[in-house]
């Protein structure tokens, strides 16, 4: 039997692989770059607000930001390209007027509560109802 720790480790690894496949590694690296930029700009200006303003203005990108931008544009499996490919597949697989899709057969509605009570009885109550006492 596989231990719970081993399963959690496998789940974490699988999540990491899927996240990297979806482009989450670029978002994580960008967050690290922004944190470093806020730290450096705040230290040089003496104000956290001014450091954040310089970081998110887009006028002063760091080396890491430019590398992340270049790498994300060169990545053939970027999330936007994957979404466009999924949209194309969806358009191919869409049902047409000639093929309306699977037909329902039978009644799939849930039985009402009183019907369940009636189905639970196998025989009707005796007439007249016996009185105990």
Q: What is the pLDDT along the chain (133 residues), one digit of tens a residue?
A: 567 788 889 888 888 887 777 777 788 888 899 999 999 999 998 899 998 898 888 888 889 888 888 887 776 655 555 555 655 555 555 556 666 566 666 665 665 565 555 556 667 767 887 788 6
Overall residue count recorded for the chain in this entry? 133
| Helical spans, DSSP H, in 2-132 | 4-21, 24-45, 48-57, 63-74, 79-93, 113-120
Instruction: From 23, 13, 17, 19, select the one nearest 68 (Cα to Cα).
Output: 23
Domain boundaries, the chain: 23-80
CB atoms closer than 10 angstroms to residue 109: 6
């Amino acid at each position: 039997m596989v231990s719970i720790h081993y399963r959690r480790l496998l789940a974490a690894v699988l999540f990491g692989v899927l996240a990297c496949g979806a482009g989450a590694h670029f978002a994580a690296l960008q967050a690290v770059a922004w944190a470093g930029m806020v730290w450096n700009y705040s230290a040089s200006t003496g104000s956290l607000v001014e450091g954040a303003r310089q970081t998110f203005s887009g006028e002063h990108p760091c080396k890491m930001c430019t590398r992340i931008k270049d790498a994300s544009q060169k990545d053939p499996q970027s999330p936007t390209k994957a979404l466009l490919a999924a949209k194309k597949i969806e358009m191919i697989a869409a049902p047409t007027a000639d093929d309306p899709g699977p037909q329902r057969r039978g009644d799939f509605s849930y039985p009402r509560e009183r019907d369940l009570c009636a189905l639970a009885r196998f025989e009707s109550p005796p007439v007249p109802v016996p009185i105990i006492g």
